[in-house]
């Protein structure tokens, strides 16, 4: 009885905080290579060690109203905890390591204690606590949400067309030929054969991501299967258009529908639909390094993501009964890989990736924004004079740890024509992380204070 009363008390307390708008659940994801785990690590570190000198644009810190932040037990015990300590520990090694990539969904809760600036909150309390839940999940899972509005035939036609185009076709053609051969045979494939073909399809997707930086890859769990590895629910793959009326298509369609109903929909209901705000990280510079097709596919991915969001201003009633995302932020990451004078170009390029969907979302009332930042700054800005005048450069260390001075060049404001890569292309390259003397030392960044003001400013006034 005592435990039931205690649990009821906690539930009533959470409802009371909701009524004061003192709880925020933020989904954080990113397409492949965007540096999402580093971003979450930096976000938590900046909150735990908030300092006016480090975060000049975060209003609650500049006004001295932030009393402190502390980690709290996570509310959802079924999720893995975000391993912040291991991520920071990697940066403190003699040879610093970037935090490892996300393999599944994880969560961390922070309590932010602050003094209200004005209004009803200031009249009711000398200080308040904002509970912030950060939910980190693979971007591949977000790209599964469009499946909710597609049947197997539509999805199959879309994926088959993508795989048959350059540059993906060179890697995909052996698998495509194999599927065509199987579908042209009269004999039926048993479950074991279907499982082998589905596994090979998953390996193909991993190859396209690893070697060609492809982003629009479905189903997402084929890339990160987790507990679903080897299960029949993942044993499906696209078929060529001429085979979509075959008995094989019917079998695969049933597995596709099971995947949508038992994997994608539960994720949407249990996690995605509960987010108050969403941050999506994009590595536009990495796509430029790869080529025109990679940039186009990233644009396709971004627009597919945006179509999955419910747009509209948040309200207390919606937050209590039917939460919906009231703020969506696209982050152009790795701003430290280019010179500061190119940041406005990177912002324009990232905005252009959203296309008409971004403009429509804003028209419908959604607060959709784009920001250029570096969660963990790995370079310093500088200048050199090669004899023809002063040139802006960045200084850091390459992936092998060797000191480098680079002139990264110009970032286009819009996507260049394919011929540009044939003539010149881009080479922004990777950088090694900075060395952190100890876990409590300031973590260098670019514009994380702007992000914190965007994320929390209206909740901590």
CA distance 293 to 207: 16
- The answer to the question of residue 450 being in a domain is yes
Q: Which domain holds residue 251?
A: 152-267
Q: Looking at the structure, do residues 173 and 192 belong to the same domain, yes or no?
A: yes
Q: Looking at the structure, do residues 156 and 262 belong to the same domain, yes or no?
A: yes
CA distance 339 to 333: 13
pLDDT of residue 15: 55
Q: Looking at the structure, do residues 451 and 327 belong to the same domain, yes or no?
A: yes
- The answer to the question of residue 395 being in a domain is no
- The answer to the question of residue 428 being in a domain is no
Q: Looking at the structure, do residues 302 and 343 belong to the same domain, yes or no?
A: yes
- The answer to the question of residue 385 being in a domain is no
Q: Looking at the structure, do residues 439 and 296 belong to the same domain, yes or no?
A: yes
The DSSP element (H or E) to which 211 belongs, if any, is helix 191-212
- The answer to the question of residue 452 being in a domain is yes
- The answer to the question of residue 147 being in a domain is no
Q: How far is CA 214 from CA 115, 198, 312, 349, 412, in A?
A: 46, 19, 31, 18, 20
How many Cβ atoms from other residues are within 10 Å of residue 140's Cβ?
22
Q: Looking at the structure, do residues 252 and 286 belong to the same domain, yes or no?
A: no
Q: Looking at the structure, do residues 260 and 323 belong to the same domain, yes or no?
A: no
Domain boundary among 223, 241, 267: 267
pLDDT of residue 318: 44
Closest alpha carbon to 150 in 140, 158, 142: 158
Distance from the Cα of residue 178 to its chain's centroid: 33
Q: Looking at the structure, do residues 234 and 354 belong to the same domain, yes or no?
A: no
Beta strands in 291-343 (DSSP E): 327-332
Domain boundary among 234, 267, 300: 267
pLDDT of residue 451: 97
The DSSP element (H or E) to which 128 belongs, if any, is strand 128-136
Coil vs helix vs strand at 164: coil
User: How many helices (H) and strands (E) are present in the chain, helices listed first?
Assistant: 18, 11
CA distance 153 to 146: 14
Q: Looking at the structure, do residues 220 and 261 belong to the same domain, yes or no?
A: yes
Residues with Cβ within 8 Å of 82's Cβ and at least 6 positions away in sequence, in order, are 40, 44, 106, 107, 108, 134, 136
Domain boundary among 217, 234, 267: 267
Per-residue pLDDT of the chain in tens (461 residues, 90 and over written 9): 555 665 565 555 555 555 555 899 999 998 878 899 999 999 999 999 999 999 999 999 999 999 999 999 988 888 899 999 999 999 999 999 999 887 788 999 999 999 998 765 655 668 899 999 999 998 888 889 889 889 999 999 999 999 999 999 999 999 999 999 988 876 678 888 899 999 999 999 999 999 998 999 999 999 888 788 888 999 999 999 999 999 999 999 999 999 999 999 988 888 877 888 989 999 999 999 999 999 999 988 888 877 766 554 544 334 444 556 788 899 999 999 999 999 999 999 998 887 766 666 666 666 788 999 999 999 999 999 888 888 899 999 998 889 999 998 899 999 899 988 888 878 888 999 999 999 999 999 999 999 999 999 999 98
Q: Looking at the structure, do residues 168 and 81 belong to the same domain, yes or no?
A: no
- The answer to the question of residue 444 being in a domain is yes
List the CATH number of the domain containing 14: 3.40.50
Total number of domains constituting the chain: 2
The DSSP element (H or E) to which 223 belongs, if any, is helix 220-223
Q: Looking at the structure, do residues 191 and 335 belong to the same domain, yes or no?
A: no
Half-sphere exposure of 254 (CA within 13 A, CB side): 6
Q: Looking at the structure, do residues 248 and 290 belong to the same domain, yes or no?
A: no
Helical segments of 308-342, H only? 316-321
Q: What is the pTM (predicted TM-score) of this model?
A: 0.88
pLDDT of residue 363: 65
- The answer to the question of residue 407 being in a domain is no
């Amino acid at each position: 009885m005592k435990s039931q009363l205690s649990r009821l008390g906690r539930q009533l307390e959470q409802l009371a905080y909701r009524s004061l708008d003192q709880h925020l659940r933020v989904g954080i994801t990113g397409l492949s290579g965007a540096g999402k785990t580093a971003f979450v690590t930096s976000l938590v570190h900046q909150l735990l060690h908030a300092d006016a000198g480090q975060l000049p644009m975060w209003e609650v810190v500049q006004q001295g109203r932030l009393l402190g932040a502390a980690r709290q037990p996570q509310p959802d015990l079924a999720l893995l905890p975000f391993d912040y300590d291991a991520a920071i520990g990697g940066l403190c090694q003699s040879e610093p390591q970037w935090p490892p990539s996300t393999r599944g969904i994880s969560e961390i809760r922070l309590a932010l204690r602050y003094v209200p600036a004005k209004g009803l909150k200031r009249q009711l309390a000398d200080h308040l606590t904002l509970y912030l839940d950060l939910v980190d999940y693979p971007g591949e899972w977000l790209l599964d949400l469009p499946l909710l509005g597609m049947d197997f035939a539509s999805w199959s036609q879309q994926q088959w067309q993508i795989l048959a185009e350059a540059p993906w076709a060179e890697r995909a053609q052996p698998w495509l030929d194999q599927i065509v051969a199987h579908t042209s045979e009269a004999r039926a494939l048993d479950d074991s054969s279907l499982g082998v073909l589905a596994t090979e399809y998953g390996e193909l997707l991993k190859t396209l991501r690893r070697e060609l930086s492809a982003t629009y890859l479905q189903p997402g769990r084929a890339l990160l299967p987790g507990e679903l590895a080897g299960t029949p629910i993942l044993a499906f793959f696209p078929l060529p258009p001429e085979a979509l009326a075959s008995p094989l298509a019917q079998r695969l369609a049933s597995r596709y529908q099971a995947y949508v109903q038992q994997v994608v929909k539960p994720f949407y209901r249990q996690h995605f639909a509960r987010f108050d705000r969403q941050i999506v990280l994009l590595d536009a510079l990495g796509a430029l390094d790869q080529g025109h097709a990679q940039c186009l596919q990233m644009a396709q991915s971004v627009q597919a993501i945006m179509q999955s969001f419910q747009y509209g201003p948040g309200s207390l009633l919606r937050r209590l009964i039917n939460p919906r995302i009231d703020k969506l932020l696209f982050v152009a990451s790795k701003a430290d890989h280019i010179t500061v004078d190119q940041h406005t170009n990177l912002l324009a390029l990232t905005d252009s990736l959203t296309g008409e969907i971004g403009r429509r979302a804003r028209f419908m009332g959604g607060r959709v924004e784009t920001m250029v930042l570096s969660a963990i700054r790995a370079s310093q800005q500088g200048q050199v004079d090669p004899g023809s005048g002063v040139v802006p450069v960045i200084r850091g260390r390459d992936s092998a740890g060797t000191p480098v001075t680079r002139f990264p060049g110009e970032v286009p404001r819009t996507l260049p024509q394919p011929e540009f890569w044939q003539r010149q292309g881009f080479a922004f390259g990777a950088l090694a992380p900075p060395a952190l003397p100890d876990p409590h030392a300031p973590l260098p960044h670019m514009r994380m204070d702007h992000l914190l003001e965007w994320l929390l400013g209206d909740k901590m006034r």
